[in-house]
């Protein structure tokens, strides 16, 4: 595969993985299997390893989970709450071990702790002087949702932990990580009770547990048989804690936390692999989708660091996926945020591992054609974890002759515009940004922090505006008036004024943010910034030729075609006219001639950012530093010159202190820039 094709695939994978993260972690309504997600993520990582300069800050490999829901207050975690890399067989585990052994020779003699990979909802629990004071979801790994009151209803969660008078002192402040689950037995009893009451039953424990914790009324949460298992200390102040994972589990149990009794300490990697191979998911009292192998020495595990969103000191061994056959009743299509038309299988309902499956992923239209999948076929489907599976193959030997071949649609099923199938690409696209099926997600993207950053315009308000017919495309936001908003439920004078003010302020956003917000397929923040330096306004950009765009560094033919197609779409041209009429038409100022980049004030300096800054988001702080010639990295090392320090810093602060790396506040950073600019 050529470099250009790889880059197209890379951007395509990023878009899809973000969407599926959102479906899984926010909506609790996944549409692909864990196995399929893991394969896509592994492919993404492979591309990034081959082309490290392509890695984008918002890549799914660089984060865990998804953005927290707007209905809940936000909680900034004291350290990143990371995910895990995956292994699917013994060789994957041994390859992981070989990689970390090359990084640190101590791994050769390391022991391991093996724990079940719990299939529930990750929670972070805060205790102060032994009292439970706050609980949050993982969210995006740095910021989660405050679900304290819902967590208080879980009987297995200790509201107070014992303060011992002898032995190690319990930390004054203690933050632990665990998983909220529903046991198999409790889930069966819950459904039996609901069925007797004539109420809707649930499909699987994981989504039931996650949905229960995200109830706005904790009385509803209290009615669900939720339980908790804790497995890690996230942070602590004062007091002593164990220095191995195995001792940590015993310590947590002694404090009164429930832990998984099926965990095991293994002297060698072979012992750990044997435990994984001998583990049967059916024997656990709760749902598991694998086993987690952790380097037992916590300081060694921490020293191994993180790659993307995965700590190197642990890996998840995923159990083999399950497969069954059923009849393909029909093939439907969905329209994604960027206009991607995705086919899906409508199945004759079939049970897999206690879950009734009615839909499955069909990947793309080329997959259907290459596999010769026909409506009416008996198809083999595969499932891993508590999610919707995917079609593997049709069973051709039992065809009756009544099966019907499938052809991709010529027009968008939502807006009717002709679909585009770029040369050498498998995907079909609708390029109409006003397409009803894309509108809400386009608006969410347009107002996001990375784009126009319209504060207060969350997903609920976006839905209200669309449902009320006030917004039919992104440009309509700038035609909203206060009386329009006052007609909406939940809007008073102050809320309406604040939103109108935020929309007005967004008119001043620079060109690259507006280009990002347009949602052009394959054009993210980095590409938008590059386009803004070459073309001073949207009109000039719209007149650019495919050859001109391709000539830019990092822009291949697929990205150029995507940009041209977007600006050639008549509906999009109307949006641009409306934006210009509304004075949302930033013009990029010519860059100052600074000569060699080495003349910039922060040239040659490397920064790491931690905590919450007073006025800047992490993205904005990174943009500021890089615009002044500095470099921002994700971890503290011997090459780090400064730590930009905000409130509630994570482990990077302690690492910087150990290395005597100077810290800067936001004000001190600006002062440093001024001093070096003088």
Choosing from 7, 40, 45, 117, the catalytic residue is 117
Q: What are phi and psi of 444, to 5 degrees?
A: -60, -40
Whether 528 contacts 516, CB under 8 Å: yes
Of 318, 344, 360, the residue that ends a domain is: 318
Asked if 449 and 556 sit in the same domain, the reply is yes
- Let me know if residue 51 belongs to a domain: yes
Would you state the pLDDT for residue 594? 39
Q: Look-up: residue for tokens 């299988």?
A: 345
- Let me know if residue 68 belongs to a domain: no
Whether 171 contacts 163, CB under 8 Å: no
Would you state the pLDDT for residue 39? 80
Cβ neighbours for 383, distance < 8 A, ≥ 6 positions apart: 33, 35, 321, 322, 323, 324, 352, 353, 355, 357, 389
Whether 544 contacts 555, CB under 8 Å: no
Q: What is the number of helices (H) and of strands (E) in the chain?
A: 24, 23
Residue 592 pLDDT grade (very low, low, confident, very high; cuts 50, 70, 90): very low
| Two tokens, residue 17 | 């993985």
Strand 428-429 to strand 642-645: parallel, antiparallel, or no bridges (unpaired)?
A: unpaired
Q: Name the more confident of 519 and 269.
A: 269
DSSP state of 221: H
Q: What are phi and psi of 563, to 5 degrees?
A: -65, -45
Could you read off the pLDDT of 28-75 as tens digits, one per residue? 556 666 667 778 888 888 888 888 888 876 677 764 444 554 577 889
Could you read off the pLDDT of 305-352 as tens digits, one per residue? 988 778 999 999 988 766 778 899 999 998 876 678 889 999 998 877
**Domains in the chain, number:** 5
The C-alpha atoms of residue 132 and residue 158 are separated, in whole angstroms, by: 7
Would you state the pLDDT for residue 322? 67
The C-alpha atoms of residue 122 and residue 331 are separated, in whole angstroms, by: 35
Q: Which domain holds residue 351?
A: 322-398
pLDDT of 604 above 50: yes
Of 343, 374, 398, the residue that ends a domain is: 398
Strand 642-645 to strand 663-664: parallel, antiparallel, or no bridges (unpaired)?
A: parallel
- The percent of residues in the chain predicted with pLDDT above 90, rounded, is 34
Whether 14 contacts 44, CB under 8 Å: yes
How is 105-166 classified by DSSP, letter by letter? GGGGG--EEEEEEE-SEEEEEEEETTEEEEEEE-TTSSEEEB-HHHHTT-TTS-SB----SS
Mean per-residue pLDDT, 643-660: 85
- Among positive and negative, which fits the CA dihedral 66, 70, 71, 76? positive
| Nearest one of 391, 339, 394, 342 to 364, comparing CA atoms | 342
Could you read off the pLDDT of 606-627 as tens digits, one per residue? 998 988 888 888 778 888 888 8
Would you state the pLDDT for residue 164? 47
Asked if 314 and 336 sit in the same domain, the reply is no
Asked if 446 and 564 sit in the same domain, the reply is yes
Would you state the pLDDT for residue 300? 95
| Two tokens, residue 616 | 């800047």
The C-alpha atoms of residue 268 and residue 301 are separated, in whole angstroms, by: 16
> Other CB atoms closer than 10 Å to residue 418's CB: what's the count?
12
pLDDT of 467 above 70: yes
- Let me know if residue 592 belongs to a domain: no
Asked if 575 and 608 sit in the same domain, the reply is no
- Let me know if residue 412 belongs to a domain: no
Asked if 455 and 548 sit in the same domain, the reply is yes
Of 371, 398, 425, the residue that ends a domain is: 398
Taking every pair of Cα atoms in the chain, the longest distance, rounded to a whole number of angstroms, is: 82
Would you state the pLDDT for residue 384? 57
The C-alpha atoms of residue 345 and residue 361 are separated, in whole angstroms, by: 6
Asked if 314 and 170 sit in the same domain, the reply is yes
DSSP state of 418: B
Q: Name the more confident of 415 and 21.
A: 415
Conformational region of residue 339, where left means phi above 0, alpha means psi within -120 to 50, and beta covers everything else: left
The C-alpha atoms of residue 470 and residue 198 are separated, in whole angstroms, by: 40
Could you read off the pLDDT of 272-285 as tens digits, one per residue? 999 999 998 878 99
DSSP state of 524: -
3-state DSSP percent of the chain in helix, strand and coil, to 5: 40, 20, 40
* Cross-strand partners of 74: 145
Mean per-residue pLDDT, 164-187: 81
| Nearest one of 517, 567, 523 to 541, comparing CA atoms | 567
Instruction: Give the global pTM.
Output: 0.46
Q: Name the more confident of 17 and 376.
A: 376
Whether 35 contacts 382, CB under 8 Å: yes
The C-alpha atoms of residue 572 and residue 339 are separated, in whole angstroms, by: 13
The C-alpha atoms of residue 505 and residue 517 are separated, in whole angstroms, by: 15
3-state DSSP of 157-199: CCCECCCCCCCCCCCCEEEEEEEEECCHHHHHHHHHHHHHCCC
| Nearest one of 490, 476, 485 to 447, comparing CA atoms | 476
The C-alpha atoms of residue 478 and residue 574 are separated, in whole angstroms, by: 14
| Nearest one of 176, 178, 177, 180 to 210, comparing CA atoms | 180
- The percent of residues in the chain predicted with pLDDT above 70, rounded, is 90
pLDDT of 133 above 50: yes
Could you read off the pLDDT of 349-398 as tens digits, one per residue? 887 755 788 999 888 888 899 889 999 999 988 775 545 688 888 988 78
Would you state the pLDDT for residue 170? 78
- Let me know if residue 405 belongs to a domain: no
CATH classification at residue 221: 3.30.470.30
Asked if 160 and 302 sit in the same domain, the reply is yes
**Mean pLDDT, rounded, of the chain:** 85
Asked if 263 and 362 sit in the same domain, the reply is no
Q: How many alpha carbons lie under 13 Å from residue 533 in its C-beta half-sphere? A: 10
Mean per-residue pLDDT, 566-594: 82
Mean per-residue pLDDT, 410-414: 88
Asked if 358 and 269 sit in the same domain, the reply is no
Could you read off the pLDDT of 94-103 as tens digits, one per residue? 999 999 999 9
Asked if 151 and 177 sit in the same domain, the reply is yes
Would you state the pLDDT for residue 70? 59
CATH classification at residue 668: 3.40.50.10190
Q: What are phi and psi of 145, to 5 degrees?
A: -100, 135
Q: How many alpha carbons lie under 13 Å from residue 342 in its C-beta half-sphere? A: 22
What is the Cα Rg of the chain in Å? 26
Asked if 45 and 128 sit in the same domain, the reply is no
| Nearest one of 615, 595, 593, 618 to 607, comparing CA atoms | 618
| Nearest one of 396, 327, 394 to 367, comparing CA atoms | 394
- Let me know if residue 410 belongs to a domain: no
Strand 264-266 to strand 322-335: parallel, antiparallel, or no bridges (unpaired)?
A: unpaired
Asked if 277 and 326 sit in the same domain, the reply is no
CATH classification at residue 367: 2.40.50.140
CATH classification at residue 520: 1.10.150.20
The C-alpha atoms of residue 172 and residue 236 are separated, in whole angstroms, by: 8
117 catalytically annotated: yes
Q: How many alpha carbons lie under 13 Å from residue 19 in its C-beta half-sphere? A: 20
Least confident window among 176-185, 375-384, 474-483, 496-505 = 375-384
- Let me know if residue 404 belongs to a domain: no
- Let me know if residue 419 belongs to a domain: no
The C-alpha atoms of residue 182 and residue 655 are separated, in whole angstroms, by: 37
């Amino acid at each position: 595969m050529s470099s250009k094709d790889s880059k197209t695939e890379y951007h395509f994978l990023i878009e899809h993985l973000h969407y599926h993260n959102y479906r899984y972690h926010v909506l609790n309504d996944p549409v692909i299997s864990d196995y399929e997600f893991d394969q896509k993520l592994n492919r993404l990582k492979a591309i990034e390893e081959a082309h490290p300069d392509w890695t984008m800050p918002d890549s799914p490999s660089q984060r865990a989970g998804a953005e927290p829901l707007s209905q809940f207050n936000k909680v900034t975690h004291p350290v990143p709450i990371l995910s895990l890399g995956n292994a699917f067989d013994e060789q994957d585990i041994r390859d992981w071990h070989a990689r970390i052994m090359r990084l640190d020779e101590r791994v050769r003699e390391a022991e391991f702790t093996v724990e079940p990979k719990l299939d529930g909802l990750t929670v972070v629990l805060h205790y102060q002087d032994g009292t439970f004071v706050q609980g949050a979801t993982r969210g995006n790994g740095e910021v989660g949702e405050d679900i304290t009151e819902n967590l208080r209803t879980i009987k297995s969660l200790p509201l107070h932990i014992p303060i011992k008078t002898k032995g190690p002192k319990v930390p004054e402040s203690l933050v632990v990580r665990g998983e909220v689950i529903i046991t198999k037995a409790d889930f069966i009893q819950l459904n039996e009770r609901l069925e007797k009451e004539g109420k809707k039953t649930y499909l699987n424990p994981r989504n039931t547990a996650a949905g229960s914790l995200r109830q706005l009324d904790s009385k509803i949460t209290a009615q669900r048989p939720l339980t908790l298992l804790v497995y890690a200390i996230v942070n602590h102040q004062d007091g002593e804690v164990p220095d191995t994972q195995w001792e940590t589990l015993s310590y947590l149990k002694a404090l009164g936390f429930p832990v998984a009794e099926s965990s095991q300490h293994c002297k060698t990697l072979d012992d750990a692999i044997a435990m994984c191979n001998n583990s049967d998911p059916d024997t656990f009292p709760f749902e598991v989708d694998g086993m987690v192998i952790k380097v037992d020495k916590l300081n060694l595990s921490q020293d191994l660091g993180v790659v993307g969103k995965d700590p190197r000191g642990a890996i998840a061994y995923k159990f083999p996926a399950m497969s069954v056959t059923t009849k393909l009743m029909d093939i439907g299509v969905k329209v994604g945020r960027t206009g991607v038309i995705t086919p899906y299988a409508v199945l004759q309902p079939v049970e897999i591992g206690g879950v009734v499956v009615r839909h499955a992923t069909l990947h793309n239209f080329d997959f259907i054609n290459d596999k010769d999948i026909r409506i009416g076929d008996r198809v083999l489907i595969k499932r891993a974890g508590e999610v919707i599976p995917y079609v593997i193959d049709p069973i051709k030997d039992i065809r009756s002759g009544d099966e019907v071949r499938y052809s991709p649609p010529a027009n968008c099923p939502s807006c009717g515009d002709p679909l585009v199938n770029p040369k050498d690409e498998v995907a079909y696209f609708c390029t109409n940004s006003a397409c009803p099926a894309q509108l809400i997600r386009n608006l969410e993207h347009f107002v996001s922090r990375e784009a126009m950053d319209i504060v207060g315009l969350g997903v609920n308000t976006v839905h209200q505006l669309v449902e009320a017919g006030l917004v039919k495309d992104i440009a309509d936001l700038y035609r909203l008036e206060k009386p329009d908003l006052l007609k909406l439920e939940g809007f008073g004078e102050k809320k309406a004024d604040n939103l109108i003010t935020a929309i007005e302020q967004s008119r001043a956003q620079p060109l690259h943010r507006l280009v990002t917000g347009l949602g052009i397929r394959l054009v993210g923040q980095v590409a938008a910034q590059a386009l803004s330096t070459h073309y001073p306004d949207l009109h000039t950009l719209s007149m650019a030729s495919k050859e001109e765009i391709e000539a830019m560094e990092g822009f291949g033919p697929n990205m150029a075609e995507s940009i041209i197609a977007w600006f050639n779409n008549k509906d999009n041209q109307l949006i641009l006219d409306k934006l210009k009429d509304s004075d949302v038409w930033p013009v990029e100022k010519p860059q100052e001639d600074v000569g060699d980049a080495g003349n910039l004030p922060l040239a040659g300096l490397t920064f790491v950012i931690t905590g919450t800054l007073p006025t800047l988001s992490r993205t904005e702080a990174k943009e500021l530093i890089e615009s002044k010639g500095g470099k921002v990295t994700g971890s503290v090392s011997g090459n780090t010159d400064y730590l930009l320090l905000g409130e509630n810093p994570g482990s990077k602060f302690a690492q910087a202190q150990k290395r005597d790396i100077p810290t800067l506040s936001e004000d001190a950073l600006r002062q440093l820039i001024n001093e070096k600019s003088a």
